[in-house]
Structure 1
Amino acid sequence: MTDDAERCPRCQQPLRAGAAFCTSCGTPLSNRSARNARNAREHAQIPGSIPVTPGPAAGHGQGGGPAVPSKLELVPATAGKRLAAAVLDWLPPVTVLAILLALGFAGITRTQRGGFIVYDTSSLVLFGGIGAGVTLAYVVVLAILEGRSGATPGNRLMGIRSTDADGYAPGGGAVFLRGLITGAGVLLAVVAAAAVVVFQWFGMALLILGPLLFLGAAWAVLVVLSSTWDRNGKLRGWHDTAAKTLVFDVKAGRNPITTGGIAGPYSFAPLDLPPVQQVASPLAAAAAAAAPAPAVLDPNQWQPPAAPVNQVQPPATVLPSAVQPAEVRPAVQPAAAAQPARVAVESSPVRQLPHPDDDHDRTQVRGDTHAPVTVAMLRIRLDDGRDIELDRTVLIGRNPAGHPGEESVQLIPVADPGRSISKTHLHLLAGNGGVWVTDRNSTNGSAVTTPDGIRTALAAGEPTHVRPGSTVHFGDRSFYLGQA
């Protein structure tokens, strides 16, 4: 948790150290990059900047948003790394399953009763069930890990990550489909093994299961290596094409899951931010209000001389209260004549300005001492390459049209030959530093993928706030939300 000084200048929400933008309203934050120790010793701190602790040049943004990596290029994973990662992932469960099945087959006994040969397969059922349960649990955990983060133990060791077509976490459905295609031969061998146990073909078990296991392993290797023959240059295998997934080398390039997907966040390039405006300081306004105004001098009021004068001043004339001729005093008494003048000056009231706190009976309206905050315009980049600046209210669909009474609505039609999106699919309302996205009861639904790679399905008819840097999916189409 940060101290009270680190708050968003727009919404006043607490910020985490090193954040590139406010996670509440999406306002970009400047002058927050850390400097190394050499620059910190040579240069003094810039007035008005927020000191941060020096950190690595690349990695996760501490504020929850994507950090600027040192490598901006995307590098597809080679077939060799993908095969090595698959071997590392599947070697432990296959080894455990093979050992348990061997123990089960070794424990099968054969007895002859009434002229029939009876096989006791209780050991095979026991050890085979344990091996199948352990393997199934391992597969489920592995699929969840890869679906949420694109990383498995083998992927981490080889430095690769699995993503969807937009560069975010692939999701459980895509991972399941890829595994089903890759392990189709192994699944066939498992079905054959079950048939051997049910029909008690133990004499032919080796002849049946041996070739099937070999063919299943060869098919899995062929599917993984099929990325070598991808014509699009993306090194996509057959299972990747079916599941619409990609695999990237995060050691040679950047990790798209943590850096804003394939398109990358807008923070990679300098933003055209509005110029800094002069803001009147509230402290200066308060000091000016508290300072007393200069008193207005009466021209008839006595003023002290600028310097002492040696000449004898003429006597000041004091008006009596009654209408009588003034008594003229001799000029030989200058000291006595000066006394009435001093008394007259002291008796005249001195006009003072009222204190601002004395006028407590009236409520005074305080002037706006802050300049208006310039709000960055929001833009969307569709997957067909169009870049559109958003109005306050937007409708997106195959042929969008507003409800009766909806006026001043921006309509964005999206071509969809496959008819995966509805006529009016999404309703967008700008606000709170982002947009409120509502699915208008579409047929195929909608989803939002945050900059962290988390994908969430949208409930029909319920507005969901989407911040800049996120990707909105509707049908088979999508758009990226950013700031102008």
Structure 2
Amino acid sequence: MAIWEVGDDDRRVEGLDENGRPDPHYAAALGLVPAPLPRRAAGAVIDAAFYLLLQVPYWIFTLPLLLKFLDARISWYGLVNHPQFLLAVVILGVSFVLSLAYCIVQLVFHGRKGITIGKAMTGLRSINVATLERPGVFRVLLRVLVLWASGLVLIGPILFLLSPLVDPEKRGRGWHDRVGRLWLVDIRHGLQPYDGKRMRIARKTVTAEPVAQSRPLPSLATPVDPGAEQAYRPGARVSAGVLGVARPHGDGPRPVVGLSGTERPDQGHGPAPAVPGRPVLGAYRRPTDEEHDGAPAEGPSSQAEVSGPAGPPSPAGPASPAGPAGPGAAAREHDGAAPAPGPVVTGTPWSASPPPGPAPAPDSQPQPQHSGQAHAPVPSRPATDAPGGAAAVLALRLDSGELVEVAGPVVIGRNPVPPHTAPEARRQPLPDDTRSVSKTHLLVRPAPHGLEVIDQGSTNGTAIVHAGAERELAPGAPAVAAAGDMLRIGERTAVVVSG
């Protein structure tokens, strides 16, 4: 419950010590500041000045006539029949009524609001020293009567007015303040005690138990010092936020973060490891310094060994020494050395264009001819990779184990909508609690040598992992994924398999 919703019927007095006396430290903790004596004296002078101002008509029109009567310069009969007698009586009555009204208003406002004309102009307020609330009319009246009664002694008022200077509590309270249990506070530099909401907040703040502070989180900002290492960095990001946390590694080997099996084949001196269920489309060995300079390499491993799935023989025949060279061929030719025989890459290439091979046989069915018209183009048949010449149907095996057959256009996402380029596409929902998969993420459809993949402008992108190398797709740009390749769909994955 908010601290300003505390009921007003809670009359428990706070801020008293064990002896029931007001604790000055509690009031100071709330933000109450004692009234400075110069402004307190100025406020009293202002209140007295307004009272004396109401007596000016009496002094001008009534008092001179009364002084003549008291000096026996005129008799009672002369006083009554004096030409200014009626005016003097009226002025006397008006001054008396105005002075009485002024004193009553000042008394009521002082008791209920802690304010008088002088205190309002000097920024002071009177409160009950124990409850820190309004002092009450009765206590203000008692304070005034004691101050007036001190006038019976010649120096009584002077002693009372100077008593705030010797207050042992250092709160500026005089003897007349102690009788009325009043305390004058400064609202210009301290808390306004008659602001109920702020007063309740201050009380709750002082009496509330301290709350344990949570530990500060490390900053995600880039260090100012370029050589400094970041103390905290996210391991992955999606549209919903940070998925994981990666701490800075030590002096040992770097931890492997990301998809397993996606290491590039050129990150090492050996061939890429074979992944079960995925053909090895090509491998090469990093050339040595001697080979790069043109010298022949020693040992039987000077030529890269190439392996791949069985496929139709290339029309060019077996690779010859003058065939395509490895990665260091350009450097060797530049130095004038004879090019070393390079690897022969076999298998299904990673592109939309088919490899060189025998042209497909023309359709044996005769085509109808129309006079005066050109022959209509005959659509080519899809590749027949399956036994018996039937077209191979590929599918996507999701990381959840579900098999999605791709016999036609399929649109994939959390709640996919077929694009305008393929309105007939079949919808395939892909649940994702992390929301890394977009609503309409990608479109896949059969292609002559695999599956054509088109990213539909997804938030976290689509990539094809081929032979350990990951390729990010541009939105709207088609790319072909062969059997054995893996698709990264946001944070989900799918493998292209034969149906």
Could you state the TM-score of these two structures normalised by the residue count of structure 1?
0.28
Could you state the TM-score of these two structures normalised by the residue count of structure 2?
0.27
Which is higher, the Rg of structure 1 or of structure 2? Answer: 2
Larger RCO, structures 1/2 (Cα 8 Å, 6+ apart)? 1
